[in-house]
């Protein structure tokens, strides 16, 4: 059962092109205005016709051909060229300082496991994003926060195999001719287990990088994964951990990245707050951390129109990962606007 207040859930299914086309149609009313005001798009579109973009497309074709078809369908649904929509979905590889933020918490409390996430993005998108329920043929299917014109998966989501993923932007300075990170994050949502998700991240050549917080119903692990062009670092969260928008795992020093003031301040503030939490950690505790407005420095919860990274908190998600399903709640401006339980399908139905 799904209870809804003011955040709608749009259902999409079928073959890749059909899914993409419908996602494009959903975004079409706001997409042109979104792009017109986007400084990121003005920077990305300068890459039209560049040989590196063709290398990215060839890598996507080799490793994620169905998702490339999905993107081409999205372009048709939007009424934009396939070249431009592919460019936009490669923004992390092309401009390195893409305006997608986020803060994620992962916590283990007894037998309970939680992932909580602030989705930070272009303030123009406040009230202009949606939740989509996507059912690809032969795959588990998933519910994801959806930015207009971007493949679902690079925000927060849970699939019907019980897999939960929350993504944090990493600003990698030196991309490679691999699979664009937004396609890699979307590919993870087709995984039927935590191990399958790790296999995708470890064995697919990445073009740049994201931080993935992963958990799965029926699996006791919570994982912090920094998957970049140079390495895939996996850490198991034993109690509680937080991650902002830069590489922090040991060994990350070898990879060139941009660390913004906001990301540095949020990481420091999260680490401080997590040391002060009383036991037991509860969903309310985690939500309080993500709502924090620091007394000094740049805050975790971001609503300043003059935010130096041009990002505001668009939504907050809380996942409670159980033995046979996932509870998913989404908040905007402190109010719960979506709440559902995603029950796991039997493995034969998930394509496992």
Cα Rg, the chain, nearest whole Å: 18
- pTM value is 0.95
User: From residue 286, how far is each of 101, 149, 299 by CA, in Å?
Assistant: 18, 30, 15
Query: Sheet containing 2-4: which strands, arranged edge to edge?
Result: 2-4, 335-343, 325-332, 312-321, 112-121, 103-109, 240-243
Whole-number pLDDT of residue 347? 58
Angle at 157 between CA 155 and CA 162, to 5 degrees: 155
Q: Are 189 and 153 a contacting pair, CB within 8 Å?
A: yes
- Asked if pLDDT for residue 89 goes beyond 80, the answer is yes
CA atoms of 83 and 80, how far apart (whole Å)? 8
Whole-number pLDDT of residue 3? 40
Structural domain includes residue 57: no
Structural domain includes residue 241: yes
- Asked if pLDDT for residue 2 goes beyond 70, the answer is no
CA atoms of 312 and 289, how far apart (whole Å)? 16
Torsion-angle region of 81 (φ positive above 0: left; ψ -120 to 50: alpha; else: beta):
beta
- Asked if pLDDT for residue 350 goes beyond 70, the answer is no
User: From residue 137, how far is each of 96, 150, 152, 208 by CA, in Å?
Assistant: 33, 20, 16, 28
Structural domain includes residue 293: yes
Whole-number pLDDT of residue 281? 95
CA atoms of 257 and 149, how far apart (whole Å)? 26
* Mean pLDDT on 138-148: 97
- Asked if pLDDT for residue 349 goes beyond 70, the answer is no
Q: How many domains does the chain have?
A: 1
Structural domain includes residue 240: yes
How many helices (H) does the chain have, and how many strands (E)?
11, 15
Domain that holds residue 281: 94-346
Mean pLDDT over each residue of the chain, to the nearest integer: 94
10 Å CB burial of residue 346 (0-12, 13-18, 19+) is exposed
Assign residue 329 the CATH number of its domain. 3.60.60.10
How many C-beta atoms lie closer than 10 Å to residue 334's C-beta? Answer: 9
- Asked if pLDDT for residue 149 goes beyond 70, the answer is yes
* Mean pLDDT on 272-284: 94
Structural domain includes residue 325: yes
* Mean pLDDT on 326-348: 89
Dump pLDDT digits (tens) for 155-197. 999 999 999 999 999 999 999 999 999 999 999 999 999 999 9
For the residues of 173-216, what is the DSSP string, one character each?
Answer: SS--SSB-HHHHHHHHTT-SSHHHHHHHHHHSPBSSEEEEEEEE
Structural domain includes residue 133: yes
CA atoms of 248 and 158, how far apart (whole Å)? 25
Using DSSP's 3-state secondary structure scheme, residue 20 falls into helix
* Mean pLDDT on 327-332: 97
Total residue count of the chain as it appears in this document = 352
Using DSSP's 3-state secondary structure scheme, residue 244 falls into coil
Structural domain includes residue 270: yes
Structural domain includes residue 333: yes
Q: Report whether the peptide linkage leading into residue 280 is cis, meaning its omega lies within 30 degrees of zero.
A: yes
Q: Are 65 and 141 a contacting pair, CB within 8 Å?
A: no
- Asked if pLDDT for residue 107 goes beyond 80, the answer is yes
CA atoms of 143 and 157, how far apart (whole Å)? 6
Q: Which band of pLDDT confidence, cut at 50, 70 and 90, is reported for residue 342? A: very high
* Mean pLDDT on 257-262: 94
Q: Which band of pLDDT confidence, cut at 50, 70 and 90, is reported for residue 5? A: very low
- Cβ neighbours of residue 173 under 8 Å, at least 6 residues apart? 96, 256, 257, 258
CA atoms of 56 and 62, how far apart (whole Å)? 10
Q: Which two tokens stand for residue 10?
A: 């749009």
């Amino acid at each position: 059962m799904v209870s809804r207040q003011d955040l709608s859930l749009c259902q999409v299914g079928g073959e890749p092109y059909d899914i993409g086309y419908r996602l494009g149609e959903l975004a079409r009313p706001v997409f042109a205005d979104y792009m017109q005001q986007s400084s990121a798009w003005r920077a990305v579109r300068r890459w039209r016709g560049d040989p590196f973009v063709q290398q990215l497309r060839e890598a996507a074709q080799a490793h994620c051909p169905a998702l490339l078809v999905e993107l081409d369908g999205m372009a048709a649904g939007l009424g934009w060229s396939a070249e431009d929509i592919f460019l936009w979905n490669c923004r992390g590889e092309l401009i390195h300082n893409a305006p997608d933020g986020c803060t994620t918490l992962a916590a283990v409390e007894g037998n309970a496991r939680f992932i909580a996430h602030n989705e930070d993005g272009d303030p123009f998108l406040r009230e202009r994003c949606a939740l989509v329920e996507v059912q690809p043929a032969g795959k588990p299917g998933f519910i994801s926060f959806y930015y207009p014109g971007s493949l679902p998966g690079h925000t927060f989501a849970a699939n019907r195999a019980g897999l939960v993923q929350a993504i944090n932007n990493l600003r990698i300075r030196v991309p490679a001719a691999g699979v664009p990170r937004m396609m890699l994050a979307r590919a993870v949502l087709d995984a039927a287990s935590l191990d399958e998700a790790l296999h995708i991240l470890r064995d697919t050549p990445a073009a740049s990088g994201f931080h993935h917080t992963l958990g799965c119903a029926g699996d006791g692990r919570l994982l912090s994964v920094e998957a970049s062009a140079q390495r895939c670092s996996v850490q198991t969260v034993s109690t509680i951990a937080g991650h902002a928008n830069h590489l922090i795992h040991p060994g990350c020093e070898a990879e060139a990245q941009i660390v913004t003031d906001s990301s540095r301040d949020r990481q420091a503030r999260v680490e401080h707050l997590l040391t002060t939490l009383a036991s037991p950690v509860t969903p309310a505790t985690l939500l309080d951390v993500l709502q924090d407005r620091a007394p000094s420095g740049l805050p975790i919860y971001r609503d300043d129109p003059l935010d130096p990274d041009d990002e505001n908190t668009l939504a907050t998600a809380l996942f409670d990962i159980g033995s046979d399903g996932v509870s998913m709640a989404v908040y905007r401006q402190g109010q719960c606007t979506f709440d559902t339980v995603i029950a796991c399908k039997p493995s034969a139905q998930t394509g496992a």
